[in-house]
Structure formats: structure tokens, C-alpha cells
């Protein structure tokens, strides 16, 4: 079957599902639209980064084409990431183009919040349902130290703009680092409760060459949960957002606390997602190097999606059982930075 772009209707009846070699259904993609960011977070990027030239980055039209193909193949959730996706020029066009796909149940965004004050309402109007905002400290000086370039007041204003825009859910993402910002665990939860939003704690992942010892700085989510249970009444939540987080409800509030725990609780057995970098590399696992290069197929077959469909279907047979993160290694499990793969 030859599928031509002009007649291709990804929002129509799905003809297949993406099922990997272990029988797991993939219905969630995370698409990075840029490796650039206006922050330089210490666990994500080097202080001095060399970014990709424009011709090596997917165009927004190519990003939209890939999303439509994945939706055609049964994907119902798409998360747009970066770098910082909102620093990409004309990024709103992409959200508007894919936000109206009838087969797409959830269009979500991960951002550092720096651009939200200006863009939040337009993103909500474009169809973004949920938004994750990375915040690792509520102390302006410490926030600047972690992000190297970030302005906490700008991010806090972005959170308020997101609340006013009426997203279905807003969640903070926090990476705790021992003897760095772990003393803010409770204050970050208190902030989330006061703002009537959710928060997730993410264990630091060994990606990229970072100039600190991750084994000594990584805070186990098991320890964080125990710490929080001593202050808050928490009950396990049955809610799932389709990702790896496990949630606990804070009693007498609408706030839920999520834990993404690649070290203390491996979540790979139910993995339902793949990642696409801004270079068009389809990674089947965040913590492994298995990948398919989609950019050549996009550019060599501009009017025929079948080679892309075939490659994506074939990739399911190399999706690994799980990641291989080990903080005790002298070298990181994966050399590429988190900003390269997509947050």
C-alpha cells in the first residue's frame, strides 16, 4: 500500500497498533522540536553547549508529519519537549496544526516556564490540555545556580499565566539533588498545594557528561516519599497520565504528588512510549541507544509516508526490555544529554 500525503487521513480509522516484541502497546510519543534552551540546568546540559545547525533539525512541517503518522498508527498522546520547545520560532503553529487531530486524545507540553507568561493562552487555545513546568527551587539565588541562566520570577509569572489559561492540569517537575535542593522538598509541595496544582519528583538520570557525582547527589524517591509521609497524609492514587509516574493524593487538597523513579522503582515493564529527537532519531528507550533515523526517510520520500510507516513498525522489534541506568558507573549510561533526547 502506498500512502500519499495529500490523501493521508491520520485522524481516520487506525489500521494497526504499535506493539513491541514484549507485547507492550506504544500509544505515547515524546517529540523534541529543538535542542536549544534558554536555561542550562546542571543535571541536563553542559554550561557551554554546541547546538545543532538548522539544517540538521526537523522542520515544524516535518514534526507535524511525524505526529500525524504516529496518530494514524494508534498513538493517542503526544508530548512536545525540547530543549525548551517554546524558544523554537513559530512553535505555536505546530501546536495549532496537530491540536485538531481527532485521533489525538492528549496534546501535552513540558517546559521550563520561561515563555509561558506570553504564550500560555495561545497554547491552551491550540489544544494543549496539560502542561508540565520544571521548577527545582523556590529560592531565586539557588534557582539561578541550578539553571545557570534562569529567572525564578519569570517562571512563577508563567505558572500564574498557565493557571489563568485554564489547562486541564498543571504539574511541577522537580529533580532533587542531595545537599543541593533536597531541603526544599516540603516547601515545593506546600507551594503546589497553595497553587492547587500537582508536583512530581524525578530521580536524576545518568545521561550526558555532567560535572558532579550523580551517585552522591541522587535522591531516592523512596526516601522522598518517606519524608513526605511524615508531614502529609498521603494515599495512593489510581490516577495515571499514561507516563511512568506513580501518584499519591495529599489529603484535603486537590494536589497529587508523583514519583518518577528509574532507580528505586524501575517502571519499564509497562513502558508505552518512544522518543523522537529534534534530529528525527526515534529512540525506543531513554536509557538505551537503540534508534531509527527517520529524517532521511522524511526528506527522501516527501510525498510517500509508507517508508516511514514501515520503519516505525519495524522499530517495535528493537524496543528493549528496559533501561540500564547505574549511578555507580564512572561513565554515564548514555552519553547524550537529556536536552538532546528531549525532556
142-151 tens-digit pLDDT: 999 999 999 9
* CATH number of the domain that residue 133 is part of: 3.20.20.70
Lowest mean pLDDT among 33-37, 82-86, 263-267: 263-267
Kindly state the average pLDDT of the residues 54-82.
97
Is the model's pLDDT at 156 over the cut of 50?
A: yes
Domain that holds residue 66: 5-341
Can you give 206-238 as a three-state secondary structure string?
CECCCCCCHHHHECCHHHHHHHHHCCCCEEECC
Is the model's pLDDT at 99 over the cut of 90?
A: yes
| pLDDT-based confidence at residue 177 (cuts at 50, 70, 90) | very high
Per-residue confidence (pLDDT) for residue 267, from 0 to 100? 59
Per-residue confidence (pLDDT) for residue 290, from 0 to 100? 82
- Dig out the grid coordinates for 3 from the structure: 500512502
Phi and psi, residue 236, nearest 5°: -60, 135
Is the model's pLDDT at 12 over the cut of 50?
A: no
Beta bridge partners of 275: 30, 283
Kindly state the average pLDDT of the residues 57-83.
97
From the list 244, 247, 156, the residue with the least C-alpha distance to 199 is 247
Structural domain count of the chain: 1
Is the model's pLDDT at 85 over the cut of 70?
A: yes
| pLDDT-based confidence at residue 114 (cuts at 50, 70, 90) | very high
Residue with cell 519524608: 227
Q: What is the pLDDT of residues 250-290, one digit of tens each?
A: 999 999 999 998 755 555 777 899 999 999 999 998 777 78
Answer yes or no: are the C-beta atoms of 267 and 302 closer than 8 Å: no
Is the model's pLDDT at 331 over the cut of 60?
A: no
| pLDDT-based confidence at residue 327 (cuts at 50, 70, 90) | very low
Distance CA 244, CA 246 (A): 7
Q: Does residue 332 or residue 338 have the better pLDDT?
A: 338
Per-residue confidence (pLDDT) for residue 206, from 0 to 100? 63
Kindly state the average pLDDT of the residues 25-33.
96
> HSE (CB half, 13 Å, CA atoms) of 283?
22
Q: At what angle do helices 60-72 and 306-315 cross, to 10 degrees?
A: 60
Is the model's pLDDT at 332 over the cut of 60?
A: no
Kindly state the average pLDDT of the residues 234-263.
88
Lowest mean pLDDT among 36-50, 117-131, 274-288, 322-336: 322-336
Distance CA 174, CA 171 (A): 10
Query: What is the three-class DSSP state of 317?
Result: helix
Is the model's pLDDT at 3 over the cut of 70?
A: no
Residue 2: left if φ>0, alpha if ψ -120 to 50, beta else—which one?
Answer: beta
Phi and psi, residue 122, nearest 5°: -65, -40
Residue with cell 545543532: 52
Answer yes or no: are the C-beta atoms of 28 and 77 closer than 8 Å: yes
Residue with cell 504564550: 119
Per-residue confidence (pLDDT) for residue 172, from 0 to 100? 98
Distance CA 184, CA 203 (A): 15
Q: What is the pLDDT of residues 189-223, one digit of tens each?
A: 999 999 999 999 999 866 545 554 556 788 999 99
Is the model's pLDDT at 123 over the cut of 80?
A: yes
Per-residue confidence (pLDDT) for residue 265, from 0 to 100? 54
Per-residue confidence (pLDDT) for residue 240, from 0 to 100? 74
Kindly state the average pLDDT of the residues 40-62.
90
Cβ count near 2 (within 10 Å): 8
Sequence-separated (6 or more) residues with CB below 8 Å from residue 313: 16, 18, 73
Determine what percent of the chain is predicted with pLDDT higher than 90: 72
Mean pLDDT of the chain, nearest integer: 88
Lowest mean pLDDT among 99-103, 137-141, 218-222, 333-337: 333-337
Answer yes or no: are the C-beta atoms of 128 and 99 closer than 8 Å: yes
Amino acid at each position: 500500500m502506498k500512502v500519499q500525503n495529500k490523501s493521508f487521513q491520520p485522524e481516520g480509522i487506525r489500521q494497526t497498533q504499535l506493539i513491541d516484541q514484549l507485547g507492550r502497546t506504544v500509544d505515547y510519543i515524546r517529540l523534541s522540536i529543538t535542542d536549544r534552551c534558554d536555561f542550562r540546568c546542571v543535571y541536563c546540559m553542559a554550561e557551554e553547549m554546541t547546538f545543532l545547525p538548522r539544517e540538521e533539525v526537523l522542520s515544524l512541517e516535518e514534526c507535524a508529519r511525524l505526529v500525524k503518522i504516529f496518530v494514524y498508527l494508534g498513538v493517542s498522546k503526544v508530548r512536545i519537549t525540547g530543549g525548551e520547545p517554546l524558544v523554537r520560532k513559530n512553535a505555536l503553529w505546530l501546536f495549532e496544526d496537530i491540536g485538531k487531530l481527532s485521533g489525538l486524545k492528549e496534546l501535552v507540553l513540558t517546559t521550563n516556564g520561561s515563555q509561558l507568561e506570553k504564550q500560555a493562552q495561545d497554547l491552551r487555545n491550540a489544544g494543549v490540555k496539560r502542561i508540565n513546568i520544571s521548577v527545582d527551587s523556590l529560592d531565586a539565588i539557588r534557582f539561578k545556580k541550578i539553571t545557570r541562566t534562569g529567572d525564578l520570577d519569570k517562571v512563577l509569572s508563567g505558572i500564574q499565566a498557565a493557571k489563568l489559561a485554564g489547562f486541564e492540569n498543571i504539574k511541577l517537575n522537580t529533580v532533587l539533588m542531595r545537599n543541593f535542593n533536597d531541603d526544599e522538598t516540603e516547601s515545593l509541595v506546600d507551594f503546589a498545594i497553595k497553587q492547587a496544582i500537582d508536583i512530581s519528583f524525578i530521580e536524576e538520570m545518568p545521561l550526558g557528561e555532567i560535572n558532579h557525582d550523580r551517585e552522591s547527589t541522587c535522591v531516592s524517591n523512596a526516601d522522598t516519599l518517606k519524608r513526605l509521609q511524615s508531614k502529609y497524609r498521603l494515599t495512593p492514587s489510581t490516577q495515571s497520565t499514561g507516563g511512568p509516574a506513580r501518584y499519591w493524593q495529599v489529603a484535603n487538597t486537590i494536589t497529587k504528588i508523583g514519583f518518577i523513579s528509574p532507580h528505586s522503582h524501575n517502571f519499564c515493564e509497562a513502558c508505552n512510549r518512544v522518543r523522537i529527537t529534534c534530529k528525527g532519531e526515534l529512540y525506543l528507550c531513554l536509557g538505551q541507544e537503540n534508534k531509527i533515523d527517520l529524517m532521511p526517510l522524511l526528506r527522501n520520500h516527501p510525498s510517500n509516508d509508507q517508508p516511514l510507516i514501515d520503519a516505525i513498525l519495524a522499530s517495535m522489534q528493537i524496543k528493549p526490555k528496559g533501561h540500564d541506568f547505574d549511578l555507580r558507573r564512572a561513565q554515564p549510561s548514555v552519553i547524550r544529554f537529556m536536552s538532546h533526547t528531549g525532556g
